[in-house]
Amino acid sequence: MEGRGMLLKFKTQNRRESVPFLQPVEELPVYDLIVAGLGTAGVYAALTAAKQGLRVLGIEKLNCCGGTGTAGDVHGYYFGTPGGIYEELDEKVREMESDGYMPVVGLNPEAKKYVCEQALIDSKVEIHYESRVTGVLMEENTVCGIQWIENGEEKTALAKITLDCTGESGICDTIGCRMERGRAFDGQVQPYSVVQPEIVNGLVEFYHYLDCGYMDALDAGQYAKACVDAACLLHYNLEDYRTRRVLGISILLGLREGRRIVGEETVELQDYLEDRMTDHPAFYAYSNLDNHGRDLAFESEVLQDWLVASSLWGINISVPVPLGCCIPKGYEGILAAGRNISIGHDIASCVRQRRDMQKCGEAVGCAAALAIRKGISVREVPYEELKKQLLATGCLKKTDDSGIWDIEEGRWHRTAWLNEAGDIYQGLKSNRPGIAIWSAKRMGKCVEHKLEEWLSDSDRNVARNSALALGILGNRKALPALRCMAEERDSYVPKTSRKYNQLRGLSAVYLLGRLRDGEAVGILEKIMEHPEDNCGQEYQYDSFIRSQKEYGFQFFTHAVMALSRIAAAHPELSGEITGKIQEAMKGPFFESLLSDTSEDAIYISCVARNMRELIK
């Protein structure tokens, strides 16, 4: 790096700017690797590279490392794959917990702060806390270093590779990498949560959290308001809090998704479901599609096929993630690790668990070290060498490719898609039809004629679940049965998932829109106008849908979206449908959603406000 032609890139009021960098580069410190963000992924990337002899600089905006698992008070794990160097550190945390730390469920966050920091120091990582990246040094398409501000002083350093672990892809965005954010319909990311640690049976738990809806973490006003609202949550339900020993709220909001890079490779849910996945994984992700969304009506068709029509929320999948997802497309000298890597929104709710993001950091740190030692681009790192090192630490294991998993009566077991019509029939007949419905989708034409026959089966479950399967296959012979289920608001709830199973009536409403059924307009308009009418049936509630009003919200949003799809496909109906939707948005039910400030309704109110703006 000679410095000639080097530019300093930065952002001012969301505008990218660049100026010639005139400072002599020989005056600047040079590192092998700069890691921006010492959070969930960054700690393990820096530690891995430093252990392999690299000179590593770590920049962190907080006054501690570890991110969500320390400052964010999420001190337990929700799925993810075991293995890798994070397990060594976790074991040290457990050993320290007997030395005066408050006992917790999971890993004590204060002990983990210490263990992570000490591991970085022992490996000679140079740590700079309370520091923020302000600019990026570039030569053509190659990142050469960064500028940051620390204690009011601007500093600059060069590096062979810079790693963006900032969560929101701050460095990648500054240099102009292609970015994506949220779902296709409205750009919204997964809901954020507020974590409320509390003492239960003498242990600190973090499991009481509140999903609060949508917020753009890059919008200072929205983020500040979310923090203030979070601080006020203890006042929403005083009776509940009088019986609980709540310690307060976390200093970090629980952000599940943000800006994602467009990488050399991308993992998409559609590819996973159609068995088009990489054969050279850097790590595996393992979880269900846990997006915490209660407004599934606004998600993509493939995600609604999985979650709404098939009730497969609780099915766990193992997803191979290649190194290419961590390489911003078209740029050199820059990598990403954490929830900002190149994964589609639909599958991001699986590829975000803390265990797997820690392993993502390790894998990227290992790849960076290999590239630097060999003097090659990260794109040229021999996969077999990377794989060998990751296998040695347990970051990558043959057992990580574990397929799909289900739980019955509290016991997890590996399951598989069905390949025989007879097995699918029995599955559709059972109270757990989701696997059979999706298996029918995978078999397609091979089983479609059987599904058509089963529409008239004497067993109600077989007939109606066959209609759901035909619906996601796009077969219009399902329409009469779907109209019937929607009109009567079929209250049957399958037991496919451990929770968040969908009412069959809701599944039918979604599929009527998916099939653009013009004959269902009257039924759907009636549902939209009277969403809380349960037609004399009793609904079952769970931890996601906890009241009649929330079911009303589900019927309302699915009916609105179904009608919108039908209007787009039938121009002759568009005027009538548009008028009805606008009228419903001014009606008493929707207004009640906007005005409800109870704790359970915080998320729903946020979604309703978003929906109102979209309709406008």
pLDDT digits (tens, 9 = 90+) for 343-353: 999 999 999 99
Asked whether residue 461 is assigned to any structural domain, the reply reads no
Return the closest-CA partner of residue 225 out of 248, 259, 192.
192
Say if residue 203 is in the same domain as residue 341: no
Q: What is the pLDDT of residue 102?
A: 80
Contact between residue 212 and residue 193 where contact means Cβ atoms under 8 Å apart: yes
**Stretch 224-232: mean pLDDT:** 81
**Inside any domain, residue 466:** no
Please determine, for residue 441, whether its predicted confidence score (pLDDT) is greater than 60. Answer: yes
* Cβ–Cβ under 8 Å, residues 32 and 55: yes
Q: Give 18's strand partners.
A: 9
SS3 at position 65: coil
- Positive or negative, the CA dihedral 150, 152, 157, 161 is positive
CB-based contact 437:465 (threshold 8 Å) = yes
- Strand pairing class (203-205; 153-164): unpaired
Residues 6 or more apart whose Cβ sits within 8 Å of residue 98: none
What digits encode the pLDDT tens for the residues 328-377? 999 999 999 999 999 999 999 999 999 999 999 999 999 999 999 999 99
Residue 245 has pLDDT above 90, yes or no: no
Q: Rounded distance, CA 299 to CA 188, Å?
A: 10
* Residue that terminates a domain, selected from 390, 416, 442: 416
CB 77 within 8 A of CB 395: no
Assess if residue 316 is contained within a domain: yes
Q: Does 558 reside within a domain?
A: yes
Dihedral (CA of 486, 492, 497, 498) sign:
positive
Give yes or no: residues 300 and 321 share one domain: yes
**Do residues 165 and 34 touch, judged by C-beta distance below 8 A?**
no
The residue behind tokens 């493939």 is 302
Output the pTM of the full model: 0.94
* Cα–Cα distance, 545 to 27 (Å, whole number): 60
pLDDT value at residue 236: 47
Which pLDDT value is given to residue 238? 47
Per residue in 480-538, pLDDT (tens digit) is: 999 999 999 999 999 999 989 999 999 999 999 999 999 999 999 999 999 988 877 77
**Mean pLDDT, residues 409-432 taken together:** 96
Determine the Cα–Cα distance for residues 365 and 244; give it in Å rounded to an integer: 42
Q: Tell me what the mean pLDDT of segment 463-478 comes to.
A: 98
Residue 381 lies in a domain: yes
Q: Which domain holds residue 528?
A: 474-615
Which residues, 6+ apart, have CB-to-CB distance to 89 below 8 Å?
112, 115, 116, 119
Same domain, 186 and 287: yes
Counting Cα atoms < 13 Å in the Cβ hemisphere of 433 gives 29
Phi, psi of 516 (to 5 degrees): 50, 50
Same domain, 215 and 309: no
Q: Where a domain ends, among 388, 416, 444?
A: 416
Helices marked H in 323-410: 345-348, 354-374, 383-393
Boundary residue ending a domain (205, 223, 246) = 246
> Could you tell me if residue 428 is inside a domain?
no
Percent of the chain at pLDDT above 90?
A: 75
If one counts the domains in the chain, the total is 3
Residues 59 and 148 in one domain: yes
Q: Report if residue 431 sits inside a domain.
A: no
Integer Cα distance of 109 and 124 in angstroms: 23
Contacts 24+ apart (CB under 8 A), 375-379: 377/332, 378/161, 378/323, 378/327, 378/335, 379/264, 379/324, 379/327
Which helix (DSSP H) or strand (DSSP E) does residue 428 occupy?
Answer: helix 421-429
383 and 518, same domain (yes or no)? no
Q: Are residues 160 and 203 in the same domain?
A: no
Band of the pLDDT at 166, cuts 50, 70, 90? very high
Would you say 57 and 64 are in contact if contact means Cβ atoms under 8 Å apart? no
Cα(567)–Cα(560) distance, integer angstroms: 10
Could you tell me the CA-to-CA distances from 580 to 141, 163, 263 in Å, in that order?
Answer: 52, 51, 43
φ/ψ (deg, to 5) at 447? -125, -5
Q: What is the DSSP string of 65-82?
A: S-GGGTTT---S--S---
- Same structural domain, 181 and 198: no
Q: How far apart are CA 360 and CA 341, in angstroms?
A: 9
Query: What pLDDT digit, counting tens, does each position of 42-62 carry?
Result: 999 999 999 999 999 999 999
Q: CA nearest 147: which of 331, 11, 51, 239?
A: 11
d(CA 424, CA 432): 11
CATH number at residue 69: 3.50.50.60
Cβ 128 vs Cβ 150: under 8 Å: yes
On whether both 521 and 569 belong to a single domain, the answer is yes
Residue at 458 is within a domain: no
Count CB atoms within 10 A of the CB of residue 137.
27
Q: Which of the four pLDDT bands, split at 50, 70 and 90, describes residue 3?
A: low
Q: H or E segment at 226?
A: helix 220-231
Task: Mark whether 184 and 203 lie in a shared domain.
Answer: no
What are 150's strand-pairing partners? 131, 153
Same structural domain, 217 and 322 = no
Q: Are residues 285 and 219 in the same domain?
A: no
For residue 300, report the phi and psi dihedrals to the nearest 5 degrees.
-70, 165
Residue in 575, 456, 475 with CA at minimum distance from that of residue 515: 475
